[in-house]
Amino acid sequence: MKSITKQKPFEEIKGQLDGLDRVFIVGCGTCTTMTKTGGRDEVLAMKEKLQEQGKIVTGWTVIPTACDEMTEVAIKENNGAIRNAGCMLVMSCALGVHKVSSYLDKPVIPGVDTLFIGLEDEPGNFHEVCAQCGQCVLGETAGICPITACHKGLVNGPCGGTNKGKCEVDKEKDCAWTLIYQRLNVQGRLDLMRKQQPPKNFQAAPRPRTIKIA
């Protein structure tokens, strides 16, 4: 799984740190390292920028995977510097922000916006592949998710906004249903596209979603 993020505008981070002058910075060695939004280099650049603003950076760390138990260990290891800080600036995806928050009473400020779960098709190019809808249809759509890849999340075929294989919201974006059509055609399974799909169950797992795996 790759959580795709982008750095928040520095002005927004500055605003959230208003009145919080002693900062401990957390990065993540997995997803935000890969997207270059919260790995070691970005954490160090953030440290410098905050110092230029007159902030005191009491310490920093890059947790190998900020969303697992390593976070607790990292927080213990940095106990002194964290105690010295008035807040945490977390440059991992929202999962890491949650994890850090769960161990501390201090304010935890996210340094990035979590955009989607995606894959890297070529270096630096990420695209969303799963909306985690709880009702996977990939078996009927030739492995292309219409919930995610179609702007409108349509399950019964293309809308009238499809144009020469592209989407009405972006001429660069492929029309998901044109792709699905082409692949199903190659597989000789166009009957799947003719199937009347019922309205989606948007409460397949009511929010907030939880599950207990035995």
CB of 185 to other proteins, least distance (A): 8
**Type of residue numbered 39:** G
**The one among 81, 103, 153, 183 contacting other proteins by CB under 8 A:** 153
Closest to other proteins by CB, 139 vs 199, is 199
Residues binding other proteins: number (CB under 8 A)? 31
Closest to other proteins by CB, 196 vs 210, is 196
Question: Helix, strand or coil for residue 136?
Answer: coil
By CB under 8 A, the residues from 104 to 123 that bind other proteins are: none
**By CB under 8 A, residue 185 contacts other proteins:** yes
**By CB under 8 A, residue 142 contacts other proteins:** no
Closest to other proteins by CB, 2 vs 152, is 152
**By CB under 8 A, residue 43 contacts other proteins:** no
The sign of the dihedral angle between the CA atoms of 42, 47, 50, 52 is: negative
CB of 200 to other proteins, least distance (A): 8
By CB under 8 A, the residues from 154 to 183 that bind other proteins are: 154-165, 167-169, 177-178, 181
Q: What are the DSSP calls for 157-199, one per residue?
A: S--TT-BTTEETTEEEEEPHHHHHHHHHHHHT-THHHHS-PPP
What does the block give as tokens for 162?
A: 């499809």
What does the block give as tokens for 104?
A: 């501390």
Beta bridge partners of 90: 26, 110
**By CB under 8 A, residue 196 contacts other proteins:** yes
Question: Helix, strand or coil for residue 52?
Answer: helix
CB 23 within 8 A of CB 111: no
CB 131 within 8 A of CB 145: yes
**The one among 2, 14, 22, 152 contacting other proteins by CB under 8 A:** 152
What does the block give as tokens for 10?
A: 């520095």
Beta bridge partners of 108: 88
Closest to other proteins by CB, 123 vs 160, is 160
Cα radius of gyration rounded to whole Å, the chain: 21
Closest to other proteins by CB, 95 vs 180, is 180
Closest to other proteins by CB, 25 vs 142, is 142
Q: Which residues bind other proteins (CB under 8 A)?
A: 151-165, 167-169, 177-178, 181, 185, 190, 193-194, 196-200, 202
